Structure formats: C-alpha cells, structure tokens
Amino acid sequence: MKNRDEILKGIAERLEPMDEARAMWECGSVAFHRIDEWSDVDIVIEGQEGTSPVIFQAIEDALTLIAPIESALGPSGGWPGVLQKVYRLEGMSPYHVIEVAIVAPDAPTKFLEREIHGDIPVHFDKDGITTVPPIEARDWEKKLQARASEVVKKVDLYRILVEKELHRGNHMEAMAFYQGFIQKALVEMIRIRYSPFRYNFQSRYLYYDLPQGVIDRLEPFFFIGSPEGLERKFMEALEWIQDLEDNS
C-alpha cells in the first residue's frame, strides 16, 4: 500500500524545480500531530497566477509514477482564489485520499495561520510565503464580538421557521430548519467561547477543539430521536445561545 511520505516526496520533487510552483505545505491532522490510519493527505501549493492547470498536470504526472490514479474530482473552488482537486490512487486505502489546493498569490485564505491551522510542515518555500505573523488578538476579539452579534440576530429572526413547522406537525422540515439555523448557531457560539480562532469550522474537529464537558453537553443536540425531543432541544439550544451571549 502506498504511504503518505512516498506521495508527498514524489509531488514535492516534481514541483519544486518549476517556476510556476512557489511553495508547498501540508494542513490537516499532520499539523496538529494527530495522524492516524484514517488521515488523508492535505496539500496546499501557491502557484503563479493562472498556472493551476500546469501544476495539477505536474502533480498527476508525479502520482502516476507512484500508482495509477483510480479516481479524481475537480478542480473546484471552495474559497476565493483557491482551486482544489482530490485524488485516490490504486492500491491506496480509501481513507487516504490526496486533497490538493492551489492558492493564487492574492488569495485571501492560504491556510497558514498557526492559531487556526497548526504547525504546518513546509516542503519548499521559494519566497517566504509560509512565514506569517501571529494573529492580532484585539482585532480578532472585535471580529468575534461582531460575529456573535450577527449570529444572535439571525437566530432571533429565523427561530420562527422551526416553531411554525413544529406547530404544523411538519417535523422533518422543523428538523431541517433546526439543524440549518439553531444547531449551527449554537455550535458557532460555543466555538467563539472555547475555540475562538476556529470559530467558523462548524462541526469539524469539535472533539479536538472543545473541552470534554462541553462535548458531553453538546452531543444530545445532534442526536434527537423524536418530535418531542426536537422541541425540547430547540428550546434548550435557544437558552444556551442566550447564556453564551450574556456571558461573552
């Protein structure tokens, strides 16, 4: 079975001599020192403007020297200035997909801040791209205060979507609105309190980012077994959100 070190070495050796590729680093579990048998390979590359097709082709050339590409998806854009493509190789664990993000020089998000993305392993950096200053704590706090206010206002406006579907007996619709507005808002408010630099990670990495007592309290808001339970957890979520706002 192909291992991550072989894949990373093959891609880095192919890209580093190319002028189009300026830096390559890793994100994800490796940056937090918690790789396990289910961890995928998260690679970020900064490329010169308009060179993503050339870089993706070079990556695919490198991968095929290791093993045939069994499946590929993309490129797609999830963030401004970022294109992502996902690969799986033959003979590789289905969990060990290779996620490659190519960021433009002016991309607002590059997945570099230590407070958010951990201790990123850098494979090469020709221009000092991966050296970023710490986040300014006071500016971040102001940003979070504004965001918390926005979340609470949104809850106040959209809680009626859950309430009216509960009144109508449309429990599946009520659940969808609960998950989309109330549960999501609750998680964000909790993150603002306990994991402020990753406040917008939603449900990703909750078990790593939050204290165990908070996890124990939060889990039942995800696993609701009846319409009556939904109504009860809906009201409890509103109370918890209010408490988080009052004690912010």
Segment 13-34 mean pLDDT: 95
Q: How far apart are CA 189 and CA 202, in angstroms?
A: 10
Query: What does the pLDDT read at residue 1?
Result: 45
pTM for the predicted model, two decimal places: 0.90
Indicate whether 70 pLDDT > 90.
yes
Indicate whether 2 pLDDT > 90.
no
pLDDT in tens, 89-138: 998 888 889 999 999 999 998 999 999 999 999 999 999 999 999 999 99
User: Would you place residue 20 in the very low, low, confident or very high pLDDT band (cuts 50, 70, 90)?
Assistant: very high
Output the DSSP codes for the chain.
---HHHHHHHHHHHHTT-TTEEEEEEEGGGGGT---TT--EEEEEEE-TT-HHHHHHHHHHHHHHHS-EEEEEEEE-SSTTEEEEEEEETTS-TT--EEEEEE-TT-S--S--HHHH-SPPEEEESSSTT--PPP-HHHHHHHHHHHHHHHHHHHHHHHHHHHHHHHHT-HHHHHHHIIIIIIHHHHHHHHHHH-GGGTT-TTTTHHHHS-HHHHHHHGGGT---SHHHHHHHHHHHHHHHHHHHHT-
What is the average pLDDT value for the chain, to the nearest integer?
A: 95
Indicate whether 224 pLDDT > 50.
yes
Segment 43-71 mean pLDDT: 95
pLDDT in tens, 153-180: 999 999 999 999 999 999 999 999 999 9
Side-chain-side CA neighbours of residue 13 (13 Å): 11
